[in-house]
């Protein structure tokens, strides 16, 4: 897409010039989001948002459940011309949710979502290791206690 702007400039001696500015612009477009939709507790959630060329260069940011994510406290975000990578380290069941990559420039905004359905909680017993989803934990909570993100059977 091209955008033009005309300016009329008047000089002394009744000379008038027209200057035309032409700007090439292109709306940002997300090609795809890659990442695992289910992650074990304590592991890193890693999502990649790949974008196409855009002018002017778009800003890229991530949202989780409608809230803009910021770097820090186990959250890493790296963005460049071709896209962005989000990492959530040491994931917890509360890190499950709807993650959205947003690209925005002066022309337009594009969004694409990925739903991380389950961050599975690790349950250890001396004889076996099981992985339960956060939803499963709701039903088993009367039988289990939680200590430092680990659950132990009361029996």
Of 125, 103, 99, nearest in space to 113 by CA: 99
pLDDT tens digits along 11-69? 566 777 777 777 788 999 999 999 999 888 899 999 999 999 999 999 999 999 999 99
Residue-number span of the structural domain to which 56 is assigned: 30-121
Q: What pLDDT is recorded for position 98?
A: 96
Q: Is residue 63 part of a domain?
A: yes
User: Residue 50: which CATH number?
Assistant: 2.60.40.10
According to the model, what pLDDT value does residue 148 have? 44
How far is residue 76's CA from residue 45's CA, in Å, rounded to a whole number? 10
Query: What pLDDT, in 10s, does the model give residues 63-116?
Result: 999 999 999 989 999 999 999 999 999 999 999 999 999 999 999 999 999 999
Cis peptide upstream of residue 120 (ω within 30 degrees of 0): no
Residue 79: inside a domain: yes
- Locate all alpha helices (DSSP H) within the chain, ordered by sequence: 134-140
Copy the structure tokens of residue 144: 């289990």
Torsion over CA: 93, 131, 127, 152 (sign): positive
pTM of the shown model: 0.67
> 81 in a domain, yes or no?
yes
Does the residue 107 lie in any domain?
A: yes
Contacts of 149 (CB under 8 A, 6+ apart): 41, 42, 92, 121, 122
Number of domains in the chain: 1
Distance of CA 19 to the CA centre of its chain: 42
Cβ–Cβ under 8 Å, residues 152 and 121: no
Residue 15 within any structural domain of the chain: no
User: Using CA atoms, how far apart are residues 125 and 134, in angstroms rounded to an integer?
Assistant: 18
Q: Quick check: 150 pLDDT over 60?
A: no
């Amino acid at each position: 897409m091209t955008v033009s702007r005309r300016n009329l400039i008047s000089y002394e001696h009744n000379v008038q010039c027209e200057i035309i500015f032409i700007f090439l612009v292109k709306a940002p477009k997300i090609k795809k989001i890659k990442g695992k939709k289910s992650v074990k507790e304590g592991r890193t959630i890693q999502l990649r948002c790949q974008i196409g060329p855009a002018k002017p260069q778009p800003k890229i940011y991530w949202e989780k459940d409608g809230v803009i994510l910021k770097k820090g406290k186990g959250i890493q975000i790296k963005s460049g011309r071709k896209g962005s990578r989000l990492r959530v380290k040491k994931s917890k069941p509360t890190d499950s949710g709807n993650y959205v990559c947003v690209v925005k420039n002066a022309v337009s905004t594009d969004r694409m979502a990925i739903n991380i359905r389950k961050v599975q909680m690790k349950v250890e017993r001396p004889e076996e290791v099981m992985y339960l989803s956060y939803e499963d934990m709701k039903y088993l909570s009367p039988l289990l206690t939680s200590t430092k993100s680990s659950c132990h059977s009361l029996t």
